[in-house]
Chains A and B, each alone.
Chain A
């Protein structure tokens, strides 16, 4: 069996494009609007969500035979909430500036539908290794959309790439101006909409 056809590879690669949590399943849109003004915050947010998702899938999947069915959601939520708080504490300790910019949005990963959704639909029915890869794949799929949106918004809206100015001074003197609209939340809506359109038409063919 070739690598690309193994179910492990599929668990990781499907959520990247074909079944992307944001652009195909329309989950986690709220944070995608809020943290994509700058590339830096988008990358950190993508990494935090990937961490939480991979480890919550791993933990819940390894406990899937012992979790009593009637309290499974409560158990899932306490696992997710603990991981989110750990991620938030680590950011506060080592990336204080970014954690201030992300403000409540790291904490709100708890309510991100992707995490709960993957725990319910995938981790409860699959072995830990597969679930871990599924978490990584979904996190990467989420992160990649966030990063594409943030890239467009930061370059067009602020003329910067990772905080470094990339639009040459001469262009500004020639009358070029940053698009202030890109800094506002509606711009993210439009860009995500365009990405979804692009992706759906690509995947169909």
Chain B
């Protein structure tokens, strides 16, 4: 048996054993990882509306019961109308509603935006006036740690609270990430629509701004309903989201 042939055989054997091990590890741990991801998503929805604080730690059951008590999810169609149960018109957009004493206090939009290295997943919560941001969170991204990766940090996210997605005359403008900090380059009017950027992460900011604008304009019909007070209760007969909430 020639040396080269032996090397190739050995390499193939190693690759086979390694891949079997990795497959076993990945599929065996999948249910645990999935639960972690689920709970983390719920935690981020709760964090976006300000129910979960960063400084405290929560058990899985805390998060699950808090989520069940406060959040309902429904699908809306492209006109911002709540879809009814069994409605399969397609194109349903999920909206998470935060209810307090029977009225909707805030609504949360799932964010799935382009980033520099991959998709950025998170949540943007808006107050029931349909124009004020009440929070922004990121639960999954592949930005560079220390630069674009700072989008997952509190100092960046807390700046979103209180920003507006409309201008003074009520027209839609979205909320964007400024470059550099808002204090340097903006007039007082513009400041309401921008948060501080991250130095060293210009592209992450640019992509995330564009992504937020795209998603907010897609959901604008819903926001308009909120602005005209047309959506203050959770519809009884609603199309639920995939996660069954």
B21: contacting residue among A86, A96, A103, CB under 8 A: A86
Could you tell me if B145 and A67 are in contact, using CB atoms closer than 8 angstroms?
Answer: no
CA distance A37 to B164 in the complex (A): 35
Could you tell me if A89 and B145 are in contact, using CB atoms closer than 8 angstroms?
Answer: no
Could you tell me if B29 and A89 are in contact, using CB atoms closer than 8 angstroms?
Answer: yes
Tell me the count of chain B residues lying within 8 A, CB to CB, of chain A: 21
CA distance A104 to B10 in the complex (A): 30
B20 and chain A: residue at smallest CB distance: A82
Could you tell me if A74 and B11 are in contact, using CB atoms closer than 8 angstroms?
Answer: yes
- The segment from B32-40, B120-128, B167-175, B178-186 that touches chain A is B32-40
Could you tell me if A70 and B15 are in contact, using CB atoms closer than 8 angstroms?
Answer: no
B11: contacting residue among A75, A100, A103, CB under 8 A: A75
CA distance A82 to B22 in the complex (A): 7
The interface centre, meaning the residue of A34, A79, A103, A104 with most chain B CB atoms within 10 A of its CB, is: A103
Could you tell me if B22 and A86 are in contact, using CB atoms closer than 8 angstroms?
Answer: yes
A103 and chain B: residue at smallest CB distance: B145
| A45 → chain B closest CB, angstroms | 14
Could you tell me if B21 and A90 are in contact, using CB atoms closer than 8 angstroms?
Answer: no
Is B188 in the interface zone, CB < 8 Å from A?
no
Could you tell me if A68 and B36 are in contact, using CB atoms closer than 8 angstroms?
Answer: no
Number of A-B contacts (CB under 8 A): 54
Could you tell me if B29 and A90 are in contact, using CB atoms closer than 8 angstroms?
Answer: yes
Considering only residues 100-133 of chain A, those with a C-beta below 8 Å from chain B are 100, 103-105
Query: What residues on B are CB-neighbors of A93 within 8 Å?
Result: 29, 32-33, 36
A102 and chain B: residue at smallest CB distance: B145
A104 and chain B: residue at smallest CB distance: B145
Could you tell me if B40 and A70 are in contact, using CB atoms closer than 8 angstroms?
Answer: no
The interface centre, meaning the residue of A79, A81, A86, A105 with most chain B CB atoms within 10 A of its CB, is: A86
Query: What residues on B are CB-neighbors of A86 within 8 Å?
Result: 21-22, 25
Is B81 in the interface zone, CB < 8 Å from A?
no
A96-B40, A104-B145 known; A71 vs B11 contact (CB < 8 Å): yes
CA distance A22 to B14 in the complex (A): 31
B10: contacting residue among A67, A79, A94, CB under 8 A: A67
Could you tell me if A34 and B145 are in contact, using CB atoms closer than 8 angstroms?
Answer: yes
Could you tell me if A92 and B33 are in contact, using CB atoms closer than 8 angstroms?
Answer: yes
Is B149 in the interface zone, CB < 8 Å from A?
yes
Q: Mark A39-83, 1 if CB is under 8 A from B, else 0.
A: 000000000000000000000000000111011001100110110
| B7 → chain A closest CB, angstroms | 4
A89-B33, A93-B29, A103-B149 known; A82 vs B18 contact (CB < 8 Å): yes
A34-B145, A68-B3 known; A92 vs B29 contact (CB < 8 Å): yes
A89: contacting residue among B15, B26, B146, CB under 8 A: B26
Considering only residues 1-55 of chain B, those with a C-beta below 8 Å from chain A are 3, 6-7, 10-11, 14-15, 18, 21-22, 25-26, 29, 32-33, 36-37, 40
CA distance A147 to B158 in the complex (A): 31
Could you tell me if B14 and A79 are in contact, using CB atoms closer than 8 angstroms?
Answer: yes
| A16 → chain B closest CB, angstroms | 29
Query: What residues on A are CB-neighbors of B10 within 8 Å?
Result: 66-68, 71, 75
CA distance A94 to B28 in the complex (A): 13
Instruction: Mark B residues whose CB is within 8 Å of A.
Output: 3, 6-7, 10-11, 14-15, 18, 21-22, 25-26, 29, 32-33, 36-37, 40, 145-146, 149
> 19 new A-B pairs (CB below 8 Å) besides A74-B11, A90-B29?
A34-B145, A68-B3, A68-B7, A71-B10, A71-B11, A75-B11, A81-B18, A82-B22, A86-B22, A86-B25, A90-B25, A92-B29, A93-B36, A94-B32, A96-B33, A96-B37, A103-B145, A103-B149, A185-B146
Closest 3 CB pairs between A and B? A93-B32, A96-B36, A93-B29
Instruction: Mark A residues whose CB is within 8 Å of B.
Output: 34, 66-68, 70-71, 74-75, 78-79, 81-82, 85-86, 89-90, 92-94, 96, 100, 103-105, 185
- Can you list 8 A-B contacts with CB-CB less than 8 angstroms, sorted by A residue number? A67-B10, A70-B3, A71-B7, A78-B18, A89-B25, A90-B25, A96-B36, A96-B37
